[in-house]
């Protein structure tokens, strides 16, 4: 057994809302065994504990869940290299992430299949953040809202193209207006356990709300970016997101979405339906310079990554910074913002029974950090995967 003491525990209260509890001790192996008062812990035999960690007044939080990450530290999911995925997982752990969905891009299908097969193997990795499966972004998208994806590889959605990979695809982005009539693509995905997200889409409000309310889409890919915006005579995909219970991804690097827009999202969706993501590409963690995304040159300066034509090309954001920025922009405590990177993404992909909060019986995925979300230690299934 292991224990974490002297921390400020972020955990659900009696009403289910996240709160901070002082003088609590978390006892765990691969799962959370007990959460007890410090006074009771002081009566326990310390010899029964393999390790006791002292949080020194820092937050003891559920590990972060990154549902949308293309790459970091020089590697990308579409490189289809085992060591690349391992590097990504190890780096993510240093930013507090304990679970992640490596994210594909719009490529020719053989290349996409290669990436899916590699991630299928990678779910067994035990180094760094846990790999849960794949977030498949494209190729079933709209050319007019393709963003930094190649138009030549875009194609019509066909469930037969992905049905053999339903075990590894956890989330898939589609443009609903591009679905072949009568294809039943969304319902087939849901029946196979794949969550469907609307993104890179030219859909109007009616098309988007129909996909959500009547077909089973539950998620919005990087809200505001690469979709029809909110207008009072055409509410667009953003309007459908606000007018539904869909989970909404948000990139909070303050480049993709302005702080004021983030505050509007918070008022409408709250922490219960807002999912913080990084959407990071291979340049994340490397600093300024030239990089690559989907076979296209990307130029990074500061926190901005763009193609040669100025199109935003993913981000270099990390999850610790995403949470800090969101808390600052929304004017809420860091511990409250944490829900958007823990329990909410777990719910978005149907894994809340095991992940997303520090509760007895759940996986011991824990990260410890200060008021600035500076990570000092991260555990995945009780194993120390990062120590500053």
Catalytic residues: 279
Q: Is 148 annotated as a binding residue?
A: yes
Across-strand partners of 71? 76
Whether 61 and 342 have beta carbons less than 8 Å apart is answered as yes
- Identify which of 222, 214, 229 has the alpha carbon closest to the alpha carbon of residue 70: 222
Angle of helix 319-330 relative to helix 259-273, nearest 10 degrees?
100
Strands 375-380 and 366-369: antiparallel
What's the token pair of residue 285? 């963690």
Whether 189 and 165 have beta carbons less than 8 Å apart is answered as no
Distance, in Å, from the CA atom of 64 to the CA atom of 356, rounded to the nearest integer, reads: 8
Q: Is 200 annotated as a binding residue?
A: yes
Whether 238 and 211 have beta carbons less than 8 Å apart is answered as no
What's the token pair of residue 316? 């270099």
**Would you put residue 337 in left (φ > 0), alpha (ψ -120 to 50) or beta?**
alpha
CA dihedral 219, 220, 222, 228 (to 10 degrees): 170
Q: Is 251 annotated as a binding residue?
A: no
Kindly tell me the sign of the dihedral angle through the C-alpha atoms of 277, 279, 282, 284: negative
Whether 238 and 223 have beta carbons less than 8 Å apart is answered as yes
Distance, in Å, from the CA atom of 345 to the CA atom of 340, rounded to the nearest integer, reads: 7
Q: Is 331 annotated as a binding residue?
A: no
Q: Is 233 annotated as a binding residue?
A: yes
What's the token pair of residue 13? 């209260």
Q: Is 282 annotated as a binding residue?
A: no
Q: Is 190 annotated as a binding residue?
A: no
Q: Is 312 annotated as a binding residue?
A: yes
User: Is cis: bond before 139, omega within 30 of 0?
Assistant: yes
Task: Please tell me what DSSP assigns to residue 213.
Answer: I
What's the token pair of residue 37? 């008062």
Q: Which residues are annotated as a binding site for substrate?
A: 148, 225-226, 233, 256, 312-314
Q: Which residues are annotated as a binding site for Zn(2+)?
A: 137, 200, 222
Q: Which residues are annotated as a binding site?
A: 137, 148, 200, 222, 225-226, 233, 256, 312-314
């Amino acid at each position: 057994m292991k224990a974490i003491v002297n921390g400020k525990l972020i955990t659900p209260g009696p009403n289910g809302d996240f709160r901070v509890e002082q003088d609590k001790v978390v006892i765990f192996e691969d799962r959370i065994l007990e959460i007890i008062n410090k006074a009771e812990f002081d009566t326990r035999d310390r010899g029964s504990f393999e390790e006791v960690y002292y949080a020194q007044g820092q937050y003891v939080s559920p590990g972060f869940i990154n549902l949308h990450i293309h790459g970091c530290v020089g590697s990308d999911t579409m490189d289809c290299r085992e060591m690349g995925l391992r590097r990504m997982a190890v780096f993510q752990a240093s930013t507090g992430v304990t679970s992640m969905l490596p994210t594909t891009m719009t490529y020719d299908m053989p290349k996409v299949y290669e990436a899916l097969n590699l991630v299928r193997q990678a779910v067994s990795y035990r180094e760094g953040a846990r790999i849960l499966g794949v977030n498949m972004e494209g190729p079933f998208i709209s050319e007019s809202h393709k963003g930094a994806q190649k138009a030549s590889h875009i194609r019509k959605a066909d469930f037969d193209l992905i049905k053999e990979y339903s075990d590894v695809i956890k989330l898939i982005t589609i443009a609903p207006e591009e679905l072949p009539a009568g294809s039943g693509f969304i319902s087939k995905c849901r029946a196979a356990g794949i969550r469907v997200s609307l993104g890179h889409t030219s859909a109007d409000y009616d098309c988007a709300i129909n996909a959500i309310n009547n077909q089973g889409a539950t998620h919005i890919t990087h809200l505001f970016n690469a979709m029809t915006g909110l207008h009072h005579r055409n509410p667009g995909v953003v309007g459908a997101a606000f007018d539904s219970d869909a989970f909404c991804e948000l990139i909070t690097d303050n480049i993709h979405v302005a702080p004021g827009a983030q505050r509007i999202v918070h008022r409408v969706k709250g922490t219960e339906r807002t999912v913080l993501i990084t959407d990071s590409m291979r340049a994340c963690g490397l600093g300024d310079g030239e990089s690559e995304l989907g076979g296209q040159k990307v130029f990074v300066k500061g926190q901005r990554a763009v193609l040669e034509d100025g199109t935003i090309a993913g981000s270099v954001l990390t999850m610790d910074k995403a949470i800090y920025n969101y808390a600052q922009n929304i004017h809420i405590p860091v511990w409250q913002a944490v829900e958007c990177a823990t329990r909410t993404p777990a719910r978005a992909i149907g894994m809340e029974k095991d992940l997303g909060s520090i509760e007895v019986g759940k996986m011991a995925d824990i990260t410890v950090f200060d008021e600035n979300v500076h990570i000092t230690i991260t555990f995945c299934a009780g194993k120390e995967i990062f120590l500053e």
